Chains A and B, each alone.
Chain A
Amino acid sequence: MSDDNKQNDPIMQWVTFRLGDEKYGINVMQVQEVLRISEIAPVPGAPSYVLGIINLRGNVVTVIDTRNRFGLMSIETDDASRVVIIETEDHIIGILVDSVAEVVELRASEIETAPNVGNDETSKYIQGVTSRDNELLILVDLNKFLSDEEKQEMDLF
Chain B
Amino acid sequence: MQPKKLDQQIVQQDIALDSYLSTLLDEIPSHVELDEEDEIKAVPLPVKQVKVSSAIVKKPVAQVDIKAEELVKPLRPLAVMPDWAKDEFQALFFKVDKLILATPLTELLRTIKVEKAPTKIPGQPSWFMGLLDTHDQRIGVLDTGQLIFGKSIGQKRDLDKQPFQRILITQDGRWGLACDEILSIGKVEPDKVRWRTLRKKKPWLIGTVIDELTAVIDVNHLVPHRKSN
Contact = CB atoms under 8 A, between A and B. Distances in A.
B42 interface: no
Interface stretch (B88-96, B122-130, B188-196): B122-130
Interface stretch (B16-24, B58-66, B113-121, B212-220): B113-121
B122 A116 contact: no
B122 A115 contact: no
Interface in A119-152: 119-120, 122-126, 129, 131, 135-136, 138
Nearest to B138: A112
A138 B133 contact: no
A135 B117 CA distance: 10
A69 B122 CA distance: 8
A116 B131 contact: no
A131 B138 CA distance: 9
B140 interface: yes
A118 interface: yes
Nearest to A114: B121
B222 to A, nearest CB: 12
B184 interface: no
Contacts of B122: 69-72, 122-123, 125-126, 138
A81 to B, nearest CB: 18
A71 B123 contact: yes
B202 to A, nearest CB: 18
Contacts of B156: none
B119 A115 contact: no
B123 A123 contact: yes
Contacts, number: 69
A120 B138 CA distance: 21
A21 interface: yes
Interface bracket on B: 10 to 19
Instruction: Give the interface SS of chain B, mostly helix, strand, loop or mixed.
Output: loop
Contacts of B226: 115-117
Contacts of A129: 119, 121, 131, 138
B227 interface: yes
Contacts of B82: none
A77 interface: no
B229 interface: yes
Contacts of A115: 121, 124, 128, 131, 140, 226-227
B150 interface: no
Given A112-B138, A118-B123, 20 more contacts: A21-B117, A70-B122, A113-B228, A114-B121, A115-B128, A115-B131, A115-B140, A115-B226, A116-B124, A117-B124, A117-B125, A117-B224, A117-B226, A119-B125, A122-B124, A123-B121, A123-B124, A129-B121, A129-B131, A131-B133
7 contacts: A71-B122, A113-B228, A115-B227, A116-B227, A117-B140, A122-B124, A123-B121
